[in-house]
Each structure stands twice: as structure tokens, then as C-alpha cells.
Amino acid sequence: MKIVKAVGLKKYFVTEDYEVHALDGIDLSVEEGEFLAVVGTSGSGKTTLLNLLGALDEPTEGGVWIRNISLKDMTAEERTVFRRRNIGFIFQQYNLVPMLDVYENITLPIRLDGGKLDEAFLEEMLKILKIKEKLHQMPETLSGGQQQRAAIARALLAKPAVILADEPTGSLDSEAGMEVMGLLRTCAARFHQTVIVVTHQEEVAQMADRIICMSDGRLAADSDEEKRWEERF
């Protein structure tokens, strides 16, 4: 089942002096449970693509569908609610609320939405992510890797359609980064979660089921397409 679909996706930034084609016609489908890595040089359009898939920005042309629901047909308020319920975000800088403890940070999106907390699901995640004993500590007392694990738990807790991770290991050293990605991969597989991760690190990309490479706002390569070509011939 296709969880994410982008068709003819374009994003242009226009001023009096120039026009930048940040995305220039992207067609992309992501299957349920797939772990997808998006790679490319700086300025290739990776983060712009993630922002459009996550309803954080609107395309110049084209559209995005999440669970067969069109984002462009929504009002700004509807997109905000949809995003909170259907899209989990993991950022490079963790984005934990400093005045809330770990438990409060993880459960914040559920509480904001007035949803019911799945305590058993949370318990299982915390065991996998190895932060159960940190629940009542403040973010500033945690290591970078521990903060990112809390951010992963927060993103997963609402059981969203897709997790979007933008350079999730960018603020971590190599060892901590690979550990965090391994835990994210484990959680994604355990809970059949769809993940799209933007990264410039080859080691991170190689952990994915599928890798797409972007260049100048376009898809330059897709390991899934290459695999199908190899199987055909």
C-alpha cells in the first residue's frame, strides 16, 4: 500500500533578480513500512522535498498525498491538524521543550491533540530505545544521543502514517549517530513504520531499504528502480 505519493512536485523561489528551482518535477511513491533514505549534495532539494511531504510548506505545482488524502485540498488549519496526527518529525536539533521532562516531551503531541495515550506501546518503545530510566529527567541532563532517542519516541507515539527525519544524526558523533539510527531502524521494523530520512552520511543511507539520490531539484537515481532493472535483465 502506498503511504506517500508526490506527483509533479515543484517548488520555485522567485525574486526580482532570479528564480531558483528548489524542486523541479518530482514523482515519488513510498510503500507502507518502507525505510527510505534521500541523499544528495547541499542544495539538491532534499530538505525542500521533506518539507513538502510533511505539509510544512506548499508546492508551486504538483501535489502530495498521504494515505490517499491530498494535502493541497486542505486549509492551513486542516493541514496543521493532519500533520499532527499523521506525520512524525525527527530533526537534527532534537527540538525537545526544555521546561518539560522526557515523559512530558514524548507525550506532548498526544496531549495537544486530546488523544488517548497507548501506555503499552510507549512502554515497549522506551525499552527498545533504552530511555525508560530517563523519563523524569530534563532534556539538558541527557546526552545528545539520549535526546534524539526521546525525539524518536515522540515521533512514533502517535503511530503516524510516516516519520520524516531530517539529518537525524547531524548533531551526534559517529558512534552515537549509528546507534540512534540502528534504534530507529529497529523501531520502524518492529512497529511496521514508514520512515523517510534525509542524510549526507553514506553509513546512514546504507541502513535503508531504498535510496534515492537528488540533484538540482530532481531525482537523479533510485535504488529501487535500479534493482527492478537488474532483475528484469
Q: 144: how many CB neighbours lie within 10 A of its CB? A: 16
The whole-angstrom separation of Cα 41 and Cα 202 is: 12
One digit per residue, the tens of pLDDT, for the chain of length 233 reads 889 999 999 999 887 777 888 999 999 999 999 999 999 988 899 999 999 999 999 999 999 999 999 998 899 899 988 998 899 999 888 889 999 999 999 999 898 888 888 999 999 989 889 999 999 999 999 999 999 999 999 999 988 999 999 988 888 888 888 888 888 888 888 888 999 999 988 888 998 999 999 999 999 888 765 554 344 42
Domain membership of residue 204 (yes or no) is: yes
- For residue 77, tell me if it sits in a domain: no
What cell does 116 get?
Answer: 488517548
User: Model-level pTM?
Assistant: 0.90
Please check whether residue 135 lies inside any domain of the structure. Answer: yes
| Assigned domain for 227 exists | yes
Give CA separation, 45 vs 18, 48, 210, 215, in Å. 17, 5, 18, 7
In a domain, 166, yes or no: yes
Q: b/e map of 3-30 (b: 16 or more CB within 10 Å)? A: bbbbeebbbeeeeeeeeebbbbebebeb
Is 8 inside any structural domain? no
Q: Coil, strand or helix: which one is 53?
A: helix
Could you list the residue range(s) of the whole structural domain that residue 49 is in?
A: 33-58+83-232
CATH number for 217:
3.40.50.300
Residue 222 placed within a domain: yes
Quick check: is 22 in a domain? no
| Number of structural domains found in the chain | 1
Cell 535500479, located at residue? 226
**Model pLDDT, residue 232:** 40
